[in-house]
Amino acid sequence: MALIGPNGAGKTNVLEAISALSPGRGLRMAQLAEMGRTELGAQPRPWAVSAAIRDETGEMRIGTGLVPAGDGAEKRVFRLNGAPVANAQEIAEIIRVLWLTPAMDRLFVEGASGRRRFLDRIVLILDPAHVARTNAYERAMRERLSLLRQGRADPLWLDGLERQMAERGVAIAAARKEAVARLAAVMAERTGAFPSAELALACEVGEVLETRSAIETEDWLAGLLHQGRARDAEAGRTQSGPHRADLKVTHRLKARAAEECSTGEQKALLIAIVLGAARLQGEVAGGTAPILLLDEIAAHLDAIRRAALFEELAVLGTQTWMTGTDGALFAGLRGRAEVFTVAAGRFVPLELKGD
């Protein structure tokens, strides 16, 4: 499906709503409260998104939103067929979403945090349990750091938190390593308009896992955190663990790091990785690839790569939502996709012109 309209028409809002159905932050990385703000300076309001998911087993309804939690606080909730869902993993097993946005065009030249989020989204579509691990790790890390800042924490309490971080952290690193290895293998097999990428995980925990068992690595990480208490308290951040990992990408044909490639090559590499992840998930799930949200995807692709992208998406057979300001860029989808113009909050079917 392609949504065509001028900037500000609300096309990306539709994609963001779909992304919100999946656990984690949405494609704009907005604070949950901000998603309910109707205009600058206005008070955020509760919001909700729901969808019907159909597969070979039938139909189910999923929903999520921000609801009042008392004392002026708000919390995010998930529902499945009208019933509350306690564990976001249940939702991650039902709907798997990948996206690309214009803001991600600088993914390879900015800090590692964006690349970690990108990688974790790929891991999540392959392994829904990843969301629970990362949430638990981050909670324990925040609590440990808060106690260290206070300077009067019970050592046994800190030991327990560090053990939690070690157990979850090693599982996170192992899941990332496996996802990167499997995705790299899929990409190595493919050639075409989009460049093949070599992928590597830069992670001290992952490196230790190369030579030690998971239990031994957990003991090593717990010991490292214990030894680093004073350093972390002074720095105000945790300086060891999988939260400092990075995804390294290399243009295979040119043997050049992604950050050294041209802007167009970086965009092509990103698209290649997302398509590779979708193919991999399709193999894992027996042909069910994730939903793809591709915001302004065609604007900076030449005609050859636009055609190649549309062909790849047709072969994948997954539900894809694309946006753009110029309907002519989507002429290659004529007869193969639903296309709508978006204006004043309304969708109007558009007949594409083309050969």
pLDDT in tens, 232-259: 999 999 999 999 999 999 999 999 999 9
Question: What's the burial of 219, exposed, middle or buried (CB within 10 Å: 0-12/13-18/19+)?
Answer: middle
Quick one: which of 292, 316, 319 has its CA closest to 125?
A: 292
CA distance 255 to 283: 28
Give pLDDT, residue 121: 95
Task: Measure the CA–CA gap between 157 and 268, rounded to whole angstroms.
Answer: 48
At residue 201, the pLDDT reads 97
Computed from CA positions of residues 137, 142, 144, 145, in that sequence, does the dihedral angle turn out positive or negative? positive
pLDDT single digits (tens) 142-170: 999 999 998 877 899 999 999 999 999 99
Cα 294 to chain centroid distance, Å, stands at: 13
Distance CA(149)–CA(127), nearest Å, equals 34
For residue 37, give Cα distances in angstroms to 42, 43, 350: 6, 6, 30
* All structural domains of the chain: 102-264 (1.20.1050.90)
Cα 352 from Cα 47, distance rounded (Å)? 34
Mean pLDDT of the chain: 89
Residue 300 has pLDDT above 90, yes or no: no
pLDDT-derived band at 37, boundaries 50, 70, 90 = low
pLDDT surpassing 60 at residue 185:
yes
pTM, full prediction = 0.91
What pLDDT, on the 0 to 100 scale, is given for residue 151? 84
- Whether the pLDDT of residue 40 is over 60: the answer is no
Q: What value does the mean pLDDT take over residues 271-297?
A: 87
